[in-house]
Structure 1
Amino acid sequence: MTIIRTIPESEAVGDVAALYAEDVEAVGYVPTHTKAMALNPAAFRAFEALIRSVAKPLGIRRYELVTLAAARGTRSQHCRLAHGLKSLRLFDEEQLERIARDYSDAGLSDAEVEMMRFAEQVGRDASAMTAADAERLREAGFSDQEIVDITIAASARLYFGSALQALGVEVDVPPMLSEPLRAALVDDL
């Protein structure tokens, strides 16, 4: 249970109501992470703007792969489940399960695997990274801007997942995720 009091859907007004409505439209319900972060709508919107600023140039497929990998590194069940659900728009369930369990053996390109390896390391321990980590991305064909965008996307996941964990936000299991996919997303964390 979260350590803060969130605004019930029936009492939401203004920016909070708008955030809630966006989630209802997108996923059919208001996740607990939205309720927690909506207590500061301006900060939540700023986070969303940051995400858009890197997701657009990366492309949604790369952005979601980076997010899943970084969330694995941070051990964030919140982010793995939420972005697992979002990734079902991009991958069929079987491939997404494979990506969640072992992205190096999931039918992804070599560049995507290297990108995910980098993002997972950002999430696990960015302080241990060296120039060689970025050089592997460059050798995989990523430009310097793409390397920055991958790093920002992975670091943003570290921020968001850590904030949710620090606030004791309950982990939502999206009801539309199958049990095998849910297990693949969180069992190894």
Structure 2
Amino acid sequence: MSIIRTPEPSEATGEVAVLYREDLDELGYVADYTRVMSVNPEAVRAFEALVRSIVAQLGKRRYELVTLAAAQALHSEHCRLAHGLKTLSLIDEDELERIARDYRNADLSEAEVAMMDYAQKVSRASHDMTDADTELLRDLGFTDREIVDITLAAAARNYYSRAIQALGAAVQVPPGLSDRLRGALLAPL
């Protein structure tokens, strides 16, 4: 549990209560990362708007793959678990387990692997990126808009993951993840 003081769900009011209710409806509990970030509910809503604008063009599958890759590079258990659950709505558990353990050998397309490699580089060493990183994505058929959105998706994950890690949010396993999938999501960290 974070040192940041947050209201209990029964005491939350206004937009904080709305954020808590959304977690209760989706997860059955209020995630510690939601509690911590809801101290600034306007920032939470701005982040959600950014993500929606990225997903609208990039698509949910690509967004989640980029997010999983960035979260892996950041060693973010929070985001690997939360987005593992979200990705289950897009692909089956066996495919997700293969992607989580080693996306380079999970029968993804060459473009998807390159996109995930790019997201990891954004997260680990963006200062070392060159035109060649972008050219590889362009050569694999990504448009400039898609390249920008892939970059934004990875950078957005960096923002959120780093914030909740720095604020000491507890890692919680969302319901709906099997032990096997949880292990696969966390193994590369």
The TM-score normalised by the length of structure 2 is 0.97
Q: Which residue of 1 aligns with 2:143?
A: 143
Is this contact kept in 1: 2:27–2:175, CA < 8 A? no
How far 1:32 sits from its partner (Å)? 0.9
Unaligned runs of 5+ in 1: none
How far 1:187 sits from its partner (Å)? 2.0
Q: Distance in 1 between matches of 2:28 and 2:139?
A: 41
Unaligned runs of 5+ in 2: none
Q: Which residue of 1 aligns with 2:55?
A: 55
**Match runs of 1:18-167 below 5 Å:** 18-167=18-167
Deviating above 3 A after TM superposition, structure 1's stretches of 4 or more consecutive aligned residues are: none
Sequence identity of aligned pairs in percent? Answer: 60
Paired letter, 2:19: L
How far 1:27 sits from its partner (Å)? 2.5
How far 1:137 sits from its partner (Å)? 0.6
Q: Which residue of 1 aligns with 2:168?
A: 168
Q: Distance in 2 between matches of 1:53 and 1:60?
A: 11
- How far does the alpha carbon of each residue in 1:40-81 deviate from its partner, in whole angstroms, 9 at most, with x for none? 000110010111110110010110001000111111111101
Paired letter, 1:188: P
Secondary structure (helix, strand or coil) at the match of 1:180 reads helix
Aligned residues: 189
Is this contact kept in 2: 1:73–1:122, CA < 8 A? no
- How far does the alpha carbon of each residue in 1:101-121 deviate from its partner, in whole angstroms, 9 at most, with x for none? 111111211111111110111
How far 1:26 sits from its partner (Å)? 2.2
Q: Distance in 2 between matches of 1:30 and 1:164?
A: 14
Q: Which residue of 1 aligns with 2:7?
A: 7
Secondary structure (helix, strand or coil) at the match of 2:175 reads coil
Is this contact kept in 2: 1:54–1:153, CA < 8 A? yes
Secondary structure (helix, strand or coil) at the match of 1:63 reads helix
Is this contact kept in 2: 1:72–1:123, CA < 8 A? no
Paired letter, 1:99: I
How far 1:180 sits from its partner (Å)? 1.0
Q: Distance in 2 between matches of 1:36 and 1:165?
A: 10
